[in-house]
A and B are shown apart, each in its own frame.
Chain A
Amino acid sequence: MNRAFAPEINLIDSLTLPEVKKLTLDNSVPVYLLNEGEQEVVKVELMFKAGKWFEEENLVADLTSRMLREGTKTQTAKQLADTFDYYGANFNNAAGYETAGASLYSLTKHIDKLLPLFFEIFTESIFPEHELATIITNRKQRLSVDLTKNDFLANRHFVNALYGQKHPYGRVTQVEDFEKFSVEDLKAFFKKYYNASNLTIIVSGKFDDSLVKKLNETFGSKNYTGDKASETISHPVESSSELVHHTEKADSVQSAIMIGNISINKTHPDFLKLTVLNTVFGGYFGSRLMSNIREEKGYTYGIHSSFASYPHGGFIEISSEVGKDVRDATMKEIQREINLLRTELIGDEELQVVKNYMSGKILRSIDGPMKFSETLKGLLIYKQELSHIQEILNTIREVSSEELMTLANKYFDYDKMYKITVG
């Protein structure tokens, strides 16, 4: 046995996708069922088109979602918490840019007792003012703590520079924003967007038909009808004219760095290939940014690059926290790595590693019910079919260094990127 030689590797070229059953409830709400796994657990995930994209005042989508835990017509916040906790269940909810989601995690044996209550939350919430007041006070305090963190500040400045205050992707929260809406705004938002026409459900885990029946008895109800969220809402992008901005903080030992610009999202034909290029650049542990700036120079604990994709846009972001004394040196290296992508072909061996790594990642993304439901959710937001997963794999396997160099010249231009530093 010669330990210097690696064992042979099997490539991943085909995928066996778990079965997804699609059905519609009596009120036409689409439901996707992923019945797999050995453990007697289930996740019921709701996606309402009720994200920040649809709010007229900052924080309304966010706090509408947050307030759903705070009481319904028949249950106080405490009673809701007691019941979910009593059955060992967990219920998370949050508003994203597009959808406001909620996931209920439960042992399968208890889910039938929880679904009626879960349904009540999304149809009969009452938004008690005293609970809102407590939440706002605590959120303001959390914001004051976050505002002392360099990475938080850099990220805020960055998205705001890219999109401006009028766009959901760029909007940042100021303390006074908490005074600019009333509980009535939350109630109105709830009434308008949390309805059956805006809802998609994914159920994953190990369950039988009785769950589907219970789901239909609750979320299949015809008493929360409403209009579909408008497809034509748009928001103006007001990018900053100031590409470079540094906030000095005398007592910092590190600087946070955010670099990037508005780019394409998942709906663009270049996107898949671009993620291969980005993985080479800064998208995994073995990336060029990590190898150079962490593993060779030791400037940072971590440096990453990613293409953030949302239904109405996307951007590239390169982020790191580095020793203050090597901030400029780090920026120069980032610039150098970008220029390398634009001028030199990626070597075969390096590209092969990235392709194999990304293929493995796809395999992991469909392994087990919980992972797979996340992947499915990602597809549904962009109205993509399951077969798209195989398409992703094929694109990764086929893309050439030449194509990637062309893409680098099209999408990576250091001079045009925002460069925000704090610390």
Chain B
Amino acid sequence: MIKFEEFVLKNGLKVIVHEDSTTTMAAVNILYKVGSRDEDVKQTGFAHLFEHFMFEGSINIPEFDTPLQNAGGENNAFTSNDITNYYDILPANNLETAFWLESDRMLSLAFEEESLATQKNVVMEEFKEHYINQPYGDVWHKMCALAYKVHPYQWPVIGLNLQHIEQVKMQSAKDFYFKYYRPNNAILVIGGNVKTAQVQKLAEKWFGEIPAGEKIIRNLPIEPAQNEQRILEVKADVPVNAVYKAYKMGARTDADFHASDLLRDILSTGDSSRLYQQLVKEKKLFSSISAYSTETIDDGLLMIEGRLSEGVSMEVAEKAIEESVSEMVNVKVSDEELIKVKNKIEAYVTFGEVNVLNRVMNLAYFEMLGNAGDVNNEVEKYAAVTSAQLQQAAAKIFRKENSNTIRYFSNN
């Protein structure tokens, strides 16, 4: 149970406070409701590049990191399809330093050409390191394009290609910033050894005067229902054949999300999970296999990926995955297995709450989804799922015509 209080500043900034006197630290999290889905198809990778740019000096402070480190703190950020999230952790008695820094980069940036040029290079090297110079590094690009035809999830957060990043101009950065990095599009969560009254004062002092931006109206294209099985074959210089199967699933906020997520747990969480036991241990068709879901605001993917054991044909491997998922549709999950995955969730959520930074991140995330308080209802929502609901969710997701498959062949 994460306790919190909340208030809204006049400029629309939502503030949430989570007091925890057992820690000496304070955690500060700012979530901006903007991600790669808000990008122009001709300028992909922009939201993530912009996240880098946020560290390159704000209107009154030449650089973000040094003053925070000087206060004994550490910080980082990440960009996803839907959000850009910044966080700082520092000794609680230096909390105001984080307010000073975070509010200044919400007020305005330095917008220096030179630092934009450098961050473009840094991000291009990040692109090369993770998506080009890696075995199977391009698979996510290919899968996004296969699974999404009109929705901006068709490109990955890093962007479609290096050129898009190289071509970014300062004016786009300014337009993007003044549209999305406004208090009314952000959620500020403070947790740790802090008091609500103290945070209220600091929030008013540092963020209160920042002007609101225009209300953001999204007109994102809706991905039409998929009605045909999609298959892409790739050949590359990798040592081992691999297969990737992405099934369309609903959005993070859909009523059947928890059932769908439990399907993923049954398939692949822990050594006792079905895919590992059936396909790695018993049939020895794969050397490794896992499943995960994208958990996006708009309709997402449930992805299964595996590396084939030597001598196993693609056809046999794929058929085995299909059999495992069909079993979820055709056979009722036993009570014991259902209790198992629910217990797994309970432990996962409870361990996730040990760390104060995780707690504030979760509060911000659930507030973004609609209501911070929902963070405390998750375990119950999973616990309420019945085996019949699991079967319904499986029947909806695990259909051939709802699947996107990449057969990744080794050149060897």
Contacts and interface: CB of A to CB of B under 8 A. Distances in A.
B129 A301 contact: yes
A215 to B, nearest CB: 20
A190 to B, nearest CB: 20
B91 A360 contact: yes
Nearest to B336: A86
A53 B158 CA distance: 42
Given A85-B273, A90-B270, A145-B240, 20 more contacts: A10-B93, A39-B351, A77-B271, A85-B343, A88-B344, A142-B288, A144-B240, A252-B133, A296-B118, A298-B118, A322-B125, A353-B66, A353-B69, A357-B73, A357-B74, A360-B73, A363-B25, A364-B25, A364-B74, A367-B356
Interface string A298-310: 1111000000000
A296 to B, nearest CB: 7
B61 A357 contact: no
Contacts of B226: none
Given A77-B281, A107-B347, A141 B354 contact: no
B100 interface: yes
Interface string B309-322: 11000000000000
Contacts of B97: 6-7, 9
Contacts of B154: none
A294 B122 contact: yes
Contacts of A359: 72
Contact of A41 (B118, B284, B287, B354): B354
B100 A3 contact: yes
Pick the most buried of B117, B128, B134, B277: most chain A CB atoms within 10 A of its CB.
Answer: B128
B324 to A, nearest CB: 16
Contacts of B353: 39
Contacts of A110: 343
Contacts of A141: 239-240, 287, 307, 309-310
Given A3-B104, A38-B22, A78-B277, A89 B347 contact: yes
A299 B23 contact: no
Interface string B178-206: 00000000000000000000000000010
Given A253-B128, A298-B122, A301-B126, A78 B91 contact: no
Interface in A288-302: 294-301
A39 B350 contact: yes
Contacts of B96: 7
Contacts of B369: none
Closest 9 CB pairs of A and B: A360-B72, A298-B121, A88-B347, A88-B343, A81-B271, A81-B272, A301-B126, A3-B60, A138-B287
Nearest to B355: A368
A423 interface: yes
A174 to B, nearest CB: 15
Q: What is the size category of the interface that chain A forms with chain B?
A: 35 or more
A253 B281 contact: no
Contact of B23 (A9, A107, A142, A368): A368
B388 interface: no
B59 to A, nearest CB: 8
Pick the most buried of A41, A110, A423: most chain B CB atoms within 10 A of its CB.
Answer: A41
Contacts of A322: 125
Interface in B103-126: 103-104, 107, 117-123, 125-126
A323 B121 CA distance: 10
B122 A301 contact: yes
Contacts of A105: 347, 351
Contact of B89 (A12, A299, A353, A364): A364
Interface in A341-367: 352-354, 356-357, 359-361, 363-364, 367
A321 B133 contact: yes
A40 B353 CA distance: 10
B293 interface: no
Interface of A: 1, 3-4, 6-7, 9-10, 12, 16, 36-41, 69, 77-78, 80-82, 84-90, 105-107, 110, 131, 134, 137-138, 141-142, 144-145, 147-150, 251-254, 284-286, 294-301, 321-323, 352-354, 356-357, 359-361, 363-364, 367-371, 423
A41 B351 contact: yes
10 contacts: A6-B97, A84-B271, A85-B343, A87-B343, A88-B348, A138-B288, A145-B238, A148-B239, A298-B119, A321-B133
Contacts of A39: 350-351, 353-354
Interface string B270-292: 11110001001100100110000
Contact of B133 (A253, A360, A369): A253
A137 to B, nearest CB: 7
Contact of B129 (A89, A90, A295, A321): A321
B312 to A, nearest CB: 11
B94 interface: yes
A367 B25 contact: yes
Contacts of B72: 9, 12, 356-357, 359-361, 363
A301 B118 CA distance: 11
A10 to B, nearest CB: 4
A351 to B, nearest CB: 11
Contacts of A145: 135, 238-240, 307
Contacts of B350: 39-41, 107
Contacts of A371: 355
Contacts of A300: 122, 125
A353 B69 CA distance: 6
A286 to B, nearest CB: 5
Contact of B22 (A36, A253, A370): A36
Given A3-B104, A138-B288, A285 B69 contact: yes
Given A285-B69, A301-B122, A360-B72, A106 B347 contact: yes
Interface in B144-177: none
A1 B104 CA distance: 12
A284 B69 contact: yes
Contacts of A354: 69
Contacts of A251: 237
Given A137-B309, A353-B66, A364-B89, A298 B272 contact: no
Given A4-B60, A88-B344, A88-B347, A367 B65 contact: no
A77 B307 CA distance: 22
B133 A254 contact: yes
A77 to B, nearest CB: 7
A298 B125 contact: yes
A36 B103 CA distance: 34
Contacts of B121: 297-299
Given A359-B72, A367-B23, A134 B240 contact: no
B24 interface: yes
A3 B105 CA distance: 11
Nearest to B117: A298
